[in-house]
Amino acid sequence: MILNEYKYELGTIERGYNNRSLYINLSDNTIKEKEVTQFMKDKFIGGKGFGLWYLWNAVTPETKWNDPENEIVIAHGPIAGITQYPGSGKSLVVTLSPLTHMPMDSNVGGYFGPYLKFSGFDALELQGKAEKDVIIFIDGNRGIVQIMESDVEEKDSHLLSEILTDRFAKNEEDKKNVSVVSTGSAADNTLIGLLNFSFYDIRRKAVRLKQAGRGGIGTVFRDKKIKALVVRFEGTKGNLNNPADQGKINKAGIKLHREICLLDDKQNRMRKIGTANIIEIMDQYDLLPTHNYKFGSHKDTYKISSDKFQARVTQGLPDGCWYGCSLSCAKAADDFIPETGPYKGQKVIVDGPEYENAAALGSNIGVFDRDAVLELNFYCDTYGIDTISFGTLTAFIMECYENGILDKEKTGGLELYFGNKEAALELIHQMARGEGFGKIAGLGIRRMKKIFIEEYGADADFLNDIGMEQKGLEYSEYLSKESLAQQGGYGLTNKGPQHDEAWLIFMDMVNNQIPTFEDKAEALHYFPMFRTWFGLMGLCKLPWNDIVPEDNKYTDEPAKIPEHVQNYVDLFNGITGKNIDKHELIRQSERVYNFQRIFNIRMGYGKRIHDRTPYRSMGPVTEEEYLSRQERYDNQLKELVGIDPEGMTTKEKIAALRKYREDQYEKLTDAVYQRRGWTMDGVPTIKKLKELDMDIPELIEVVEQHL
């Protein structure tokens, strides 16, 4: 049954923008267009910037994630949808997170973003709550938007996306023109729900899924009773953005395609195995999170190394999640047969695994079993669960279990010790069914800590040390203990400990290129700003530095990949006809980054106290950890702290090292805030906002209350 239908004039994109967005309110089935103003384009550019701006205007400081006024905004960006440059089909999703209560943003592939753009909209705002499950359909060729009651009984994404692709495509050939956004049954029962964005794989003749994973966006989606979003657009071509200078875009693209063709096999093998190429490298450098981030390596890592996945996954098919991406990091295991759960015995496709999934669902929970990782990966995706949050919170549970904080009685019989893959799988099925201990686990680490302390009498200090969450979001999968800069890369962020702002471990810990606080602060300014830019444009980060020009090592700043930075400047100028340089690129990001910080402050967070991190991210919490790397830590006490560890107990040594490391983090925080133009409490100053032309009255009003 159609609840409302809206007809709109088809238009053309001009220099990367439609100059309008689509607004839908599910409480009263309103569908309308909004103008994308010059102000929005100047200050917020697109993508995540538009999402944050719309959300800012939709909510108040009192709004909760499950209030009707909360929005989910999906936006791409001015560069999104080109097919000449790899990694140009991303969508950015923004909402108030059920985990952090602040704006969350997540970057996702699949065809939905570009098709939304080609259908005529620079963003999609979803507000309100439907009474019954609905499907929203955008027909980008006929200019029709429909809200319809859902008649689909299936609850999991791999089925939902397949059914809806079949339904809305005219025929087999048309399936590539359809993209579905959905989540799965666990999004109804947990706070870690994700969104799956589909694309049709014409070689496999199957629907594939990419994930907007972080922060519980899928949970908000289901709270609004959205079953799925579907867009159909026929006629994709490389020039639909009507760029100002197509030649400039083509030139940058050809250069990068050539690099990938010549160098990827020698560099990161993204086409062969994708991001999983670094599993064994992380292990070798003691950075692979193992047993809830206690350790950085494990003797059994070889069982989940990239070659094991390559043998099962790639089938020699380089894969992309948008047209023209020759880096092709997407991977799939075809004909995978789960051994548990509702799809036991059926042949399914598992997308991935990414490095993060292998670490989260493998080493961090002690499961060194390739097929178990793939099964967990499949169920996370189709149930709509963020793999990173699931892995990190399960690792936390397992450490609690092994420390007697949990037992079989409290877990309803699940023996959740490290390495118990059967228990981990049952936990995920419970999340999907909304049953048992899975309901508690699905609340995330922050809420579990509260329950374990208040109801089970657990030691609060211990749980706060080992619970790897910050701002309410679970950590992603790198061990940051030996890299102060990466501790900041996780902690001094806007949305929580996700490594998409900065990944500085090698620059810092291995290369020792940023030895001083000022060096680290400069890196924690530049890289978060640079990486923010991908989210404003609808771009993927990987083609920036997972392939590098052969002569990059001879440049002044190899870590920045200067030639690729220039490519991005050329892409932006080529699309929009503007004339920015690499410095203005950073300023574009700074505007949105500072805006997001102020948004956090407006919501009651976003200050220094919220940038503190659990000690497990900084150093050894337990004697077991200290003793496992005793020589390293003893040497640090001698050389860095100036203490002779001889004669000290392990407990005393842990305390001395902790005092030193926590002090280092505070000094780093001072340096980073100063570099970013913030007060020592983490508040952007009015001077900084003026420098950025962001001295907008409503922002000044928020910061003035905190200066």
By beta-carbon proximity to other proteins, the closer residue of 499 and 520 is: 499
Helix/strand/coil (H/E/C) assignment for every residue in 35-70: ECCHHHHHHHCCCHHHHHHHHHHHCCCCCCCCCCCC
Placement of tokens 């000044």 in the chain? 700
Question: Which residue number, 541 or 607, has a Cβ lying nearer to other proteins?
Answer: 541
Instruction: Tell me 451's DSSP state.
Output: H
- Of positions 315, 513, 628, 679, contacts other proteins by CB under 8 A: 513
Could you tell me the sign of the dihedral formed by the alpha carbons of 417, 423, 425, 430, in that order? Answer: negative
Note whether 5 and 231 are within 8 A (CB). no
> Whose Cβ is closer to other proteins: residue 294's or residue 499's?
499
Distances (CA, A) of 67 to 97, 188, 203, 219, 299: 11, 16, 42, 12, 48
Q: Which is nearer to other proteins, 118 or 478 (CB)?
A: 478
Among 464, 545, 628, 674, binds other proteins (CB under 8 A): 545
CA angle 330, 336, 341 (to 5 degrees): 115
Q: Report, in Å, the least distance between residue 267 CB and other proteins.
A: 6
Distance, in Å, from the CA atom of 13 to the CA atom of 576, rounded to the nearest integer, reads 11
Tokens found for residue 170: 């005219």
Q: Prior bond to 353 cis, omega within 30?
A: yes
Q: Does 515 bind other proteins (CB under 8 A)?
A: yes
Cβ distance to other proteins smaller for residue 219 or 306: 306
Beta bridge pairs of residue 138: 145, 231
**If binding means CB under 8 A, how many residues of this protein chain bind other proteins?**
34
Count CB-CB contacts under 10 A for residue 697: 6
Q: How far apart are CA 220 and CA 98, in angstroms?
A: 7
Q: Per CB under 8 A, does 516 bind other proteins?
A: no
Query: CB–CB of 194/227 below 8 Å?
Result: no
C-beta separation of 542 from 529 below 8 A = no
**Sole binder of other proteins in the list 118, 355, 401, 599 (CB under 8 A):** 355
Partners of 266 in beta bridges: none
Q: Tell me which of 8, 379, 527, 665 binds other proteins, using CB under 8 A.
A: 527
The DSSP code sequence of 72-99 is: EEEE--TTTT-SSSSS---EEEEEE-TT
Q: Which residues contact 690 (CB under 8 A, 6 or more apart)?
A: none
Closest distance of CB 509 from other proteins, Å: 10
Q: For other proteins, which residue of 309, 462, 478, 678 counts as binding (CB under 8 A)?
A: 478
List the one residue from 249, 252, 548, 668 that touches other proteins (CB under 8 A).
548
Minimum Å distance from CB 319 to other proteins?
Answer: 18
Q: Quick one: which segment of 79-87, 402-410, 476-484, 611-619 binds other proteins (CB under 8 A)?
A: 476-484
Piece of 14-22, 29-37, 75-83, 545-553 that binds other proteins (CB under 8 A): 545-553
Question: Binding to other proteins by residue 512, rule CB under 8 A?
Answer: yes
User: And the tokens for 37?
Assistant: 């103003």
Query: Hey, how many other C-beta atoms are within 10 angstroms of the C-beta on 63?
Result: 17
Which residue's CB is nearer to other proteins, number 336 or number 530? 530
If the CB atoms of residues 180 and 529 are measured against other proteins, the closer one turns out to be: 529
- With left for phi above 0 and alpha for psi between -120 and 50, is residue 260 left, alpha or beta? alpha
State which amino acid sits at residue 130: A
> If we measure between CA atoms, which residue out of 280, 458, 291, 490 comes closest to residue 391?
291
CA nearest neighbour of 12 among 97, 142, 165, 117: 117
- Is 280 or 570 the residue whose CB approaches other proteins more closely? 280
Please name every residue paired with 91 in a beta bridge, in sequence order, or none if there are none. Answer: 108
Write the DSSP string, 4-18: EEEE------BTTB-
CA 62/CA 701 separation, integer angstroms: 16
Q: State the binding string over 556-585 for other proteins (x if CB under 8 A, else -).
A: --xx--------------------------
Give the amino acid at 22.
Answer: L
Shortest spacing between CB 372 and other proteins, in angstroms: 22
Query: Judged by CB under 8 A, which of 160, 507, 536, 592 binds other proteins?
Result: 507
**Of positions 348, 505, 540, 592, contacts other proteins by CB under 8 A:** 505
CB of 477 to other proteins, least distance (A): 8
d(CA 142, CA 661): 60
Q: Does 553 bind other proteins (CB under 8 A)?
A: yes
Pairing of strands 178-182, 195-201: antiparallel
Kindly state the tokens that stand for 188.
């109804």
Stretch that binds other proteins, among 111-119, 437-445, 553-561, 564-572 (CB under 8 A): 553-561
Structural tokens at position 444? 């995330």
Strands (E), 554-661: none
Residue 482 beta carbon to other proteins: minimum distance, rounded to whole angstroms: 13
Question: Within 257-316, which residues bind other proteins (CB under 8 A)?
Answer: 266-268, 275, 278, 280-281, 284-285
Residue type, 429: H
Between residues 266 and 583, which has the closer beta carbon with respect to other proteins?
266
User: Tokens for 26?
Assistant: 């599910």
Q: Can you tell me which of 153, 345, 516, 554 binds other proteins, judged by CB under 8 A? A: 554
665 binds other proteins (CB under 8 A): no
Check if the beta carbon of residue 46 is closer than 8 Å to that of residue 76. Answer: yes
Region from 75-83, 368-376, 456-464, 551-559 binding other proteins, contact rule CB under 8 A: 551-559
**CB nearer to other proteins: pick between 188 and 283:** 283
Nearest distance in Å: CB 558, other proteins: 6
Establish if 475 lies at the interface with other proteins (CB under 8 A). Answer: no
Cα–Cα distance measured from residue 264 to residue 299, given in angstroms and rounded to the nearest whole number: 29
Residue 356 interacting with other proteins (CB under 8 A) = yes
C-alpha 455: how far from its chain's center? 32
Specify the residue, 356 or 465, whose C-beta has the smaller distance to other proteins.
356
What does the buried/exposed string (b/e) look like for 483-508 if buried means 16 or more CB atoms within 10 Å of the residue's CB? bbbbbbbbbbbbbbbbbbbbbbbebb
Cβ distance to other proteins smaller for residue 250 or 267: 267
Q: Which stretch binds other proteins (CB under 8 A): 31-39, 363-371, 509-517, 599-607?
A: 509-517
Q: Is 552 in the site for other proteins (CB under 8 A)?
A: yes
**With respect to other proteins, which residue has the nearer C-beta, 31 or 548?**
548
Q: Which of 8, 503, 534, 615 binds other proteins (CB under 8 A)?
A: 503
Which one of 31-39, 441-449, 499-507, 699-707 is the stretch in contact with other proteins (CB under 8 A)?
499-507
Q: Considering the rule CB under 8 A, would residue 493 count as an interface residue with other proteins?
A: no
Cα-flanking dihedrals φ and ψ of residue 535, to 5°?
-75, -15
Site string for other proteins, 78-117 (x = CB under 8 A): ----------------------------------------
Q: Which stretch binds other proteins (CB under 8 A): 389-397, 464-472, 508-516, 643-651?
A: 508-516
Between 95 and 480, whose beta carbon lies closer to other proteins? 480
Taking CB under 8 A as the criterion, the residue among 510, 640, 655, 680 binding other proteins is: 510
Q: Is the dihedral of CA 455, 456, 458, 463 positive or negative?
A: negative
Residue closer to other proteins, measured from CB, 466 or 502: 502
Q: Toward other proteins, which CB reaches closer, 187 or 484?
A: 484
**Residues of this chain that bind other proteins (CB under 8 A):** 266-268, 275, 278, 280-281, 284-285, 355-356, 476-478, 499-500, 503-507, 510-513, 515, 527, 545, 548, 552-554, 558-559
